[in-house]
Amino acid sequence: MLKPSKRSINLPQAATRKLSKFADAAKKAGKKVYHLNIGQPDVDSPEQVLQALTKYDQKYIPYTASQGNLSYREKLLKYYRKHNIDITAEEILVTASGSEALFFALSVACDLDDEIIVPEPFYTNYSTIAGIAGVNIIPVTAKFEESFALPPIESFSEKITDKTKAILICNPSNPTGYVYSEKELLELKELCIKHNLFLISDEVYREFNYSETEIISALNISGMEDRTIVVDSVSKRYNTCGLRIGAFITRNQDVITSTLKYAQARLSPPTLGQFVAEEAIETPDSYFDEVTEKFIGRRDLLVERINNIPGAKCNKPEGAFYLLAKLPVDNAENFCKWLLTDFDDNQETIMFAPAEGFYKTPGLGVNEVRIAYVLNRKDLNRAMDILEKALATYPGKE
């Protein structure tokens, strides 16, 4: 029998989905599963988005321009100006999701077998996308005890080689919820200039800030115009994960020209997704205010409940809608699997994402889980009740 390529075999599975078959089996057996493993909130999409779905009146669905519809890119400028980001439509490529934008960024910034430095823990699919692009991730470890603040800049310098081409950050962070300060971003700026590196900034959680720290876009770091690439997406902003519309943004026109070749190879981003995303830009600020209030309440509930469980602890995230929790278990992946295969409380259980998959360094995150606070407070409370009972009976306690 023919075998798949070694490259595909060696790609990691997404930590957020690798236990899905066990969740499916649990549901088939009649159990209710509270999904806290994936960033799919239960909040409504904006009314503008839902109405747009009924407005498309063309007789067929054509390709769009490879760089995305000009009308959408020009309307995006209105959104970015609200966030004090001054760019032009020619500096935006519309992508089929933020994931595609990141793949483009790594492919254009790096040659095969080049390296990027990434603070860990990081979004699990960075490893997969880097593997597809033929790029090696070199981690620097952010500490749980320091709320996952940017590691000392010296720890980045120590990892730089002649193969290093970029630093990749997520601000606010998935999976930690950390928001980078201006001081931290300026430290990265000096490092990138000194070593002639790109700064790739994943900013898909821009709207979700619960701290007094201002979220500063990498596009607003003066002196970095030619070396900054921003990855963006509408998935989390409007709770429209299924639209699959992202953006690749840079002021470096040589980078835009090269990236367009990748965009042309896949022909165009989704036509209907762009149509709806263009309407979504008219979403009023009140929508984001209401959503933010919901997530703050959910975050506070989880932080209190987790830290009241004997042996468990977590930090208080400043943004996004995730947190990393340490649990009193010997192996979090085994525990997460056990929750789905061997445990229930009145036919109900929970699904987390084992955090080991959010680290590159072997041995880190073994007793941690990423929890997405995407469900309403009632469901989150019930999920924490189940977690507390499960930890009290789990045979693999730490």
Q: What pLDDT score does 14 carry?
A: 82
Q: What is the pLDDT of residue 155?
A: 97
Looking at the 3D structure of the chain, how many domains does it have?
A: 2
Q: What is the CATH classification number for the domain harbouring 80?
A: 3.40.640.10
> What is each CA distance from 157 to 109, 117, 151, 167, 246, in whole angstroms?
19, 10, 11, 11, 31
Stated as kind and residue range, the H or E segment containing 231 is strand 228-233
- Find the mean pLDDT for residues 13-40: 93
292 part of a folded domain: yes
Residues 183 and 274 in one domain: yes
Evaluate if residue 397 carries a pLDDT over 90: no
Q: Are residues 244 and 301 in the same domain?
A: no
Domain-embedded: residue 14:
yes
Whether residue 318 sits in one domain with residue 194: no
CATH code for the domain in which residue 377 is found: 3.90.1150.10
Asked if residues 204 and 237 have their Cβ atoms less than 8 Å apart, the reply is yes
Secondary structure of residue 179 in the 3-state scheme: coil
Residue 51 covered by a domain: no
Q: Say what the pLDDT of residue 101 is.
A: 98
Model confidence over 255-292: pLDDT tens digits?
A: 999 999 999 999 999 999 999 999 999 999 999 999 99
CA angle, 355 then 38 then 392, to 5°: 55
Question: Of 236, 253, 280, at which residue does a domain stop?
Answer: 280
Hey, how many other C-beta atoms are within 10 angstroms of the C-beta on 209? Answer: 18
Instruction: State residue 154's pLDDT score.
Output: 97
Total residues belonging to the chain = 398
**What pLDDT, on a 0 to 100 scale, did the predictor assign at position 351?**
97
The single-letter code of the amino acid at 209 is: N
In a domain, 338, yes or no: yes
Other Cβ atoms less than 10 A from the Cβ of 252: the count is 17
Q: Which whole number is the average pLDDT over 25-52? A: 96
Q: Note the pLDDT tens digit of each residue in 194-210.
A: 999 999 999 999 999 99
Quote the longest CA-to-CA distance of the chain. 61
In a domain, 52, yes or no: no
Q: State whether 29 and 65 are in the same domain.
A: no
Domain housing 165: 58-280
Residues 264 and 319 in one domain: no
Residue 164 belongs to some domain of the structure: yes
> CB of 106 within 8 A of CB of 255?
no
pLDDT of residue 398: 63
Let me know whether 27 and 75 are in one domain: no
Query: What does pLDDT average to over the chain?
Result: 96
Residue 377's pLDDT is 98
396 has pLDDT over 80: no
Closest CA relative to residue 351, chosen from 32, 100, 5: 32
- Domain shared by 353 and 298, yes or no: yes
Are 133 and 217 part of one and the same domain? Answer: yes
The region, left, alpha or beta by phi > 0 then psi within -120 to 50, assigned to residue 113 is left
For residue 97, is it left (φ>0), alpha (ψ between -120 and 50) or beta?
Answer: left
Average pLDDT, integer, range 211-221: 95
Mean of the pLDDT values across residues 96-122? 98
In terms of domains, do 196 and 335 share one?
Answer: no
pLDDT of amino acid 13? 82
pLDDT score at 320: 98
323 and 349 belong to one structural domain? yes
What pLDDT does residue 15 have? 73
Q: Of 247, 280, 313, which marks where a domain is finished?
A: 280
Q: How confident is the model at residue 12 (pLDDT cuts 50, 70, 90)?
A: confident
Indicate whether 23 belongs to any domain. yes
Residue 49 domain flag: no
Q: Give pLDDT, residue 382.
A: 98
End position of a domain, from candidates 218, 245, 280: 280
- Looking at the predicted structure, is the pLDDT value of residue 119 above 70? yes
Check whether 72 has a pLDDT greater than 90.
yes
78 and 193 share one domain: yes
Backbone angles phi, psi at 349, to 5 degrees: -150, -175
What pTM value is reported for the model? 0.96
Asked if 216 and 362 sit in the same domain, the reply is no
- Of residues 217, 227, 395, 390, the one with CA closest to residue 309: 390
How much of the chain exceeds pLDDT 90, in percent? 95
